[in-house]
Amino acid sequence: MRLGLGSPGRYAGPLAEVSLSLAIGLAAGAAVLAGVGADPARGIYAMFSWALSDPSAVLDRATPILLTGLGFAVAARASLFNIGMEGQMYLGGLVALVVSLATREPVLPTLAGVAVGAGYGALAGILKVYRGVNEVVSTIMLNWIAYFLLGYFVTIYYPSPQRPWRSLDVPVTARFPRVSELPTAFLVAVAAALVMLYLLWWTSLGYDIRAVGLQPKAARYGGADPRRVTAISMALSGGVSGLAGVLVVLGRSFYLDSHASVMAGMGFDGIGVALVGRNHPVGIVLSSALFALMAVGGHGMQLEVGVPRELVEAVTGVVIFALAVPEAYRMLASALRFGRGAGGTSEGGG
């Protein structure tokens, strides 16, 4: 079975790294709670119990960050650092809203949102290929441009007559339904993860993407065109990020506002989701659920101990920072294995 999963033994190291980073992040969060005079145990308990009492809210929250996580991962597999999921998501959501007002059904708005997201992602890819513009800089600029374009269209062309800072509502016939409590939008996101899994490990395009990411020169020798792969993986990244915006608008909020507050930050959340999920679709489904749990539970924590739920952002930042230093874990592991004598190898070890 070529699942891209490999033998179980391969997971021990990465799993330990991810767990340790999450533990460091939670410890930092607990330290902040204690520092401001709140009871950390009560705060963390409130977070998880609140989230687990409302599973459909967790699935709603997981849907967009699962997709932006996939968006980050497919670019990262080609060794690109796309942090433009935020803007790609905004445009996907905006286009879905506009098209749904005309078609009053969900299919065409979804396809249009995905296409525009893909185009916006490809734009950064093309700027990189033809102009050598670093994607970190270009995607952040494109994020801000998308943010203000969204505000422009929402308040000028599609404002709600009663509340002009937000848009008209998505027609009821164009919304993604819920089957009892289960949001179908979440099922669409999981399906996208399966498609991405298939694409990355069963198709020649996926092989090229992974080859370019690992070793561009060798990949070119093997027949992959790194420039084409760059543009395509950025388009794929933008497409799933666009879908994230579509599913927020057609699946949960049913409107947009001038500050995109129904989805703000969920593109950046995808970075943490993807890194904790080790840029693998299966890992990303799991980590999106974890991040959604923390985000939804943040409300519970805020109510229970009075610390703003943005503390969750700070924890996420620490987790990501901790994930940047696998070398530290290797050093820690060897120190534990060899006792104190290994401390002297801090700079030469590994």
Tell me if 83 sits within 8 A of 136, measured CB to CB. yes
Task: Please say which residue, 176 or 268, places its beta carbon nearer to other proteins.
Answer: 268
What's the distance, CA 10 to chain centroid?
Answer: 24
Tell me if 45 sits within 8 A of 305, measured CB to CB. no
State in angstroms the smallest separation of the CB of 151 from other proteins. Answer: 5
Tell me if 101 sits within 8 A of 277, measured CB to CB. no
Task: Please say which residue, 100 or 138, places its beta carbon nearer to other proteins.
Answer: 138
| Residues contributing to the site for other proteins (CB under 8 A) | 32, 36, 81, 83, 127, 131-134, 136-138, 140-145, 148-149, 151-152, 155-156, 265, 268, 271-272, 275, 307-308, 310-328, 331, 346-348, 350
Task: Please say which residue, 200 or 331, places its beta carbon nearer to other proteins.
Answer: 331
Distance CA 21, CA 283 (A): 15
Which residues fall within 8 angstroms of residue 30, CB to CB, at 6 or more apart? 40, 43, 44
Task: Please say which residue, 2 or 347, places its beta carbon nearer to other proteins.
Answer: 347
Task: Please say which residue, 87 or 106, places its beta carbon nearer to other proteins.
Answer: 87
State in angstroms the smallest separation of the CB of 105 from other proteins. Answer: 29
State in angstroms the smallest separation of the CB of 272 from other proteins. Answer: 7
Which residues fall within 8 angstroms of residue 317, CB to CB, at 6 or more apart? none
How many C-beta atoms lie closer than 10 Å to residue 350's C-beta? 10
Query: What burial letters (b/e) apply to 263-276, b meaning 16+ CB within 10 Å?
Result: beebbbbbbbbbbb
State in angstroms the smallest separation of the CB of 125 from other proteins. Answer: 13
Give 159's strand partners: 167
State in angstroms the smallest separation of the CB of 179 from other proteins. Answer: 34
State in angstroms the smallest separation of the CB of 189 from other proteins. Answer: 22
Distances from the Cα of 132 to the Cαs of 13, 83, 125, in angstroms?
Answer: 35, 17, 9
Task: Please say which residue, 191 or 325, places its beta carbon nearer to other proteins.
Answer: 325
Distance CA 230, CA 19 (A): 31
Task: Please say which residue, 228 or 309, places its beta carbon nearer to other proteins.
Answer: 309
Task: Please say which residue, 182 or 325, places its beta carbon nearer to other proteins.
Answer: 325
State in angstroms the smallest separation of the CB of 133 from other proteins. Answer: 5
Tell me if 316 sits within 8 A of 25, measured CB to CB. yes
Give 179's strand partners: 182
Distance CA 48, CA 45 (A): 5
State in angstroms the smallest separation of the CB of 178 from other proteins. Answer: 31
Measured at the alpha carbon of residue 287, what is the angle toward residues 286 and 289, in degrees to the nearest 5?
70
Tell me if 195 sits within 8 A of 285, measured CB to CB. no
State in angstroms the smallest separation of the CB of 205 from other proteins. Answer: 25
Tell me if 230 sits within 8 A of 78, measured CB to CB. yes
Task: Please say which residue, 211 or 331, places its beta carbon nearer to other proteins.
Answer: 331
Residue 2, both tokens: 């070529």
Q: Using CB atoms within 10 Å of the CB of residue 110, give its burial: 0 to 12 exposed, 13 to 18 middle, 19+ buried.
A: buried
